[in-house]
Amino acid sequence: MVEGMRTHAAGTVSVDDVDGLVTVAGWVQKRRDHGGIAFFDVRDASGVVQVVADPDEHPVVDDLKMEYCVSVTGTVRRRPEGTENPDLATGLVEIGADDVIVLSPSRTLPFMIDDRVEIDERVRLQYRYLDLRRPRMAANLRARSRATAAIRRTLDGLGFLEVETPTLINSTPEGARDMLVPSRLRQGEFYALPQSPQLFKQLLMISGVERYFQIARCYRDEDFRADRQLEFTQLDLEGSFWGRDEVLATIEKVLAAVAKELRGVDVELPLPRLTWDEAMNRFGSDKPDLRFGMELVDLTDHLTGTEFGVFKGVIESAGTVRGINAGAQEWSRARADQLTERAKELGARGLVWMVVEDDGSLRSPVAKFLSEGEQGAIKTALDAEPGHLLLIAADRWRTAVEVLGGLRNDLGRPKGHDELSFLWVVDFPLFEEDEDGGITFSHHPFTSPVSIDEMRDHPQGALSNAYDAVLNGVELGSGSIRIHDPAVQRQVFEILGIDSEIAERRFGWFLEALEYGTPPHGGFAFGIDRLVMVLQGESSIREVIPFPKTQTGVDPMTGAPTWVDDYQLAELGVDLTASSRARRDEAGGSEG
RNA sequence: GGGCGCGUAGAACAGUCUGGAGUGUUCGCCGGCCUGUCAAGCCGGAGGUCGCGGGUUCAAAUCCCGUCGUGCCCGCCA
């Protein structure tokens, strides 16, 4: 885009422009002053072009520092033979300066605008506006924009209606912690920021929208991770009169369109599907990374008669023994301790390791407790060759597979993001056990059961109509066919132990809405931040969020969150606890 | 809520284990030289609360305790 102050975008100046008079504007990337001749690079959003000037004719060139904002008018010329720069898109040409104007000088930078240096992230966030000038970050911004454009293009083509839902809604204590906003007009009452537009999109189905989507900001007040922020962006989508396969086919098209846009690859559709059961048993995860093998193997049957106490105890108490072949790994006592520690972190009580020696024998702290036959069976089951490391976990099923699934990821996961492995995980259990042995929904309580009878009679084994999308072991998002029958919805609340009075108070308005001819409906939501993160080869969501927060929820640039004045609190009918007040006073109090 | 790592000049680091003068490297910054560089080069210079507080010691960037900041992970994230 070229207008007004310039005739050309810097990155587009080419041999076609030779002998032409051009004006470019941008930032001084680097000045190289040779005395009688000086070069500097001008960078704008489109790229970089080199300017040549005689400092005697243009003394202003002596003043140019990095990141000065400048305008340059001059004549495009071919670079002298042997001085072309093949690394630069505009490397065949340069601009001979006639006029150089400093539009805006720059202070000395806190860090250089350069992808080759790793800067402390706190400093980057404090000067995010400079950080975003770096080519990698600028590329991530553009990628994100292209991703959302591709999403809108695809869904518009499929007849979807983009609808905005409110971001000040009612709080529901289930699920993640709500971000709360105090109401001034109704002191003492609070809005919540939406964790997702879930109920509103279902209402839109009742409203007759039939095909809805929204690129929605969502909020969850939980602890941070590399792939989790307080606020994040989802593609939220819902449709009526369709089933799971139509939802998946739609989302697949969107994912493929974004992958095509950002990676130029054609993702083969339909995407592979795994049942939750298979994902857990083979990969120890409900978001398996299929870019590598190292699959889990059930060793229980080979060890039913074992004398080894740990295995014996687990098997007798209906647990399971699972193993993985981690392949050739550097091995040491320290490494063994480290992996055992990690296994415990993942919930295991311990970890059995075995290294296959050159003669085929097993080196392991537990080898002496296992019979020759048992050792042989383990080796065969795990395809063990000399030099391989075998890891075995014995526990209740869920723990055993999840521990090995975690270790599998630690040990086998490819470093790069070159390969893309999308997949669906389907047939999730409807409920799972919570820590008190009670029952809790594994998706959300609006997810329909595959069978209502099964849900009522055997809730533990009941399947739900929920599905997840996974890319390279990253959970992109999930969806489900919803409950459209208010009676079933009430039953689910009941099974979950939500008192009918409470359900009525919290969700009565929604249950009532379901009574007015609700169409069968279902949908999906996936995290745009995570999708763009993986496609851009980033390992943190913060690299694709323009202004993210640190792990403690702070924005180092603006200082948010901040203390507020007493009069603001008074207007809201909110007071600080004594300890918060003390911290505020210690910090120098409120501003203004 | 918990575990682990990191914090030294504007930036990136080494030095910390094994205590001995703020020692050093690269980039940036300031001054000078330089007509084909593109992470230009050469010469010179400035720049430090070793995150903060306490302790041990004749002596602490270094050892110990606490604290703050930051990152990764576990819990949490329907």
Give per-residue pLDDT as tens, A538-561. Answer: 999 999 999 999 999 999 999 999
A136-145: long-range contacts, CB 8 A cutoff, minimum separation 24: A136/A543, A137/A543, A138/A45, A139/A536, A140/A532, A140/A536, A140/A538, A140/A543, A140/A544, A141/A546, A143/A262, A143/A532, A143/A535, A143/A536, A143/A544, A144/A528, A144/A532, A144/A544
User: How big is chain A by its Cα radius of gyration, in Å?
Assistant: 30
Tell me which DSSP letter residue A272 carries. P
Give the pLDDT confidence score for residue A514 in this predicted structure.
Answer: 96
Q: Which nucleotide is nearest to A445 (CA to C1')?
A: B78
Interatomic CA–C1' length for residue A127 and nucleotide B12, angstroms: 17
Give the pLDDT confidence score for residue A436 in this predicted structure.
Answer: 63
Cα torsion angle, A310, A313, A315, A318, sign: negative
Q: Is the pLDDT of residue A566 over 90?
A: yes
Task: Give the model confidence (pLDDT) of A128-168 as tens digits.
Answer: 999 999 999 999 999 999 999 999 999 999 999 999 999 99
pLDDT band for A219, please (50, 70, 90 cuts).
Answer: very high
Interatomic CA–C1' length for residue A53 and nucleotide B45, angstroms: 28
Sole residue written with tokens 């080199």: A50
| CA distance linking residue A302 with residue A23, whole number of Å | 77
Compare A296 and A172 and report the one with higher pLDDT: A296
Q: ipTM score of the complex?
A: 0.94
**Which residue lies nearest B27, CA-to-C1' measured?**
A112
pLDDT band for A440, please (50, 70, 90 cuts).
Answer: confident
Give the pLDDT confidence score for residue A432 in this predicted structure.
Answer: 81
Report residues 174-213 of A contacting strand B, contact meaning Cβ closer than 7 Å.
174-177, 195-196, 198
pLDDT band for A435, please (50, 70, 90 cuts).
Answer: low
Sole residue written with tokens 């000040």: A168
Task: Give the model confidence (pLDDT) of A227-240 as tens digits.
Answer: 999 999 999 999 99
**Which residue lies nearest B10, CA-to-C1' measured?**
A110
Virtual torsion, Cα A430, A435, A438, A440, nearest 10 deg = -30
Taking CA A524 as the corner, what is the angle to CA A441 and CA A258, rounded to the nearest 5 degrees? 140
Contact A469, A520 (CB under 8 A): no
| A441 contact to strand B (CB, 7 A limit) | yes
Q: Is the pLDDT of residue A11 over 90?
A: yes
pLDDT band for A284, please (50, 70, 90 cuts).
Answer: very high
Query: 3-class SS at A439?
Result: strand
Report residues 266-285 of A contacting strand B, contact meaning Cβ closer than 7 Å.
none
Give, as ranges, the nucleotides of chain B with any atom within 7 Å of a protein CB: 1-2, 10-13, 27-30, 33-41, 69-78
Interatomic CA–C1' length for residue A63 and nucleotide B30, angstroms: 13
Q: What's the burial of A390, exposed, middle or buried (CB within 10 Å: 0-12/13-18/19+)?
A: buried
Task: Give the model confidence (pLDDT) of A38-73 as tens digits.
Answer: 999 999 999 999 999 999 999 999 999 999 999 999
Q: Is the pLDDT of residue A267 over 80?
A: yes
Report residues 76-95 of A contacting strand B, contact meaning Cβ closer than 7 Å.
79-80, 82-85, 87-88, 91, 94
Burial A120-155 (b: 16+ CB within 10 A, else e): ebeebbbbbebbbbbeebbebeebbeebbebbbebb
| A338 contact to strand B (CB, 7 A limit) | no
Report residues 342-361 of A contacting strand B, contact meaning Cβ closer than 7 Å.
345-347
The strand pairing partners of A394, in sequence order, are: A321
Interatomic CA–C1' length for residue A359 and nucleotide B57, angstroms: 56
**Mean pLDDT for the stretch of residues A555-574:** 94
Which residues are within 8 A (CB) of A473 and not within 5 positions of it... i.e. 6 or more apart? A285, A287, A288, A289, A291, A409, A413, A421
CA A375 to chain centre: 41
Interatomic CA–C1' length for residue A111 and nucleotide B43, angstroms: 26
Q: Which nucleotide is nearest to A172 (CA to C1')?
A: B78
Interatomic CA–C1' length for residue A538 and nucleotide B37, angstroms: 33
Q: Is the pLDDT of residue A2 over 60?
A: no
Which residues are within 8 A (CB) of A318 and not within 5 positions of it... i.e. 6 or more apart? A396
Compare A109 and A442 and report the one with higher pLDDT: A109
Report residues 25-84 of A contacting strand B, contact meaning Cβ closer than 7 Å.
30, 32-37, 39, 41, 50, 52, 54, 65-66, 79-80, 82-84
**Mean pLDDT for the stretch of residues A277-286:** 96
Q: Which nucleotide is nearest to A434 (CA to C1')?
A: B78
Task: Look up the pTM and report it.
Answer: 0.95
Compare A37 and A497 and report the one with higher pLDDT: A37
Which residues are within 8 A (CB) of A145 and not within 5 positions of it... i.e. 6 or more apart? none
Q: Which of A2-16, A219-233, A255-269 has the lowest mean pLDDT?
A: A2-16
Task: Give the model confidence (pLDDT) of A422-433 as tens digits.
Answer: 999 999 999 887
Contact A497, A439 (CB under 8 A): yes
| A117 contact to strand B (CB, 7 A limit) | yes
Interatomic CA–C1' length for residue A120 and nucleotide B61, angstroms: 20
Q: Which nucleotide is nearest to A478 (CA to C1')?
A: B78
Distances (CA, A) of A208 to A40, A161, A203, A205: 60, 11, 9, 5
Sole residue written with tokens 């941070």: A224
**Mean pLDDT for the stretch of residues A403-430:** 93
Compare A589 and A389 and report the one with higher pLDDT: A389
Report residues 511-550 of A contacting strand B, contact meaning Cβ closer than 7 Å.
540, 542, 550
Which residues are within 8 A (CB) of A375 and not within 5 positions of it... i.e. 6 or more apart? A362, A367
**Which residue lies nearest B30, CA-to-C1' measured?**
A108
Interatomic CA–C1' length for residue A342 and nucleotide B75, angstroms: 14
Q: Is the pLDDT of residue A87 over 50?
A: yes
Q: Which nucleotide is nearest to A218 (CA to C1')?
A: B77
Which residues are within 8 A (CB) of A354 and not within 5 positions of it... i.e. 6 or more apart? A362, A363, A364, A366, A367, A378, A384, A389, A390, A391, A392
pLDDT band for A486, please (50, 70, 90 cuts).
Answer: very high
Contact A362, A355 (CB under 8 A): yes
**Mean pLDDT for the stretch of residues A122-131:** 96
Task: Give the model confidence (pLDDT) of A333-370 as tens digits.
Answer: 888 988 999 999 999 999 999 999 999 999 999 999 99
**Mean pLDDT for the stretch of residues A368-393:** 95
Interatomic CA–C1' length for residue A429 and nucleotide B21, angstroms: 68
Cα torsion angle, A16, A135, A234, A281, sign: positive
Give the pLDDT confidence score for residue A98 in this predicted structure.
Answer: 95
DSSP H helical ranges for A85-185 = 121-126, 128-131, 135-157
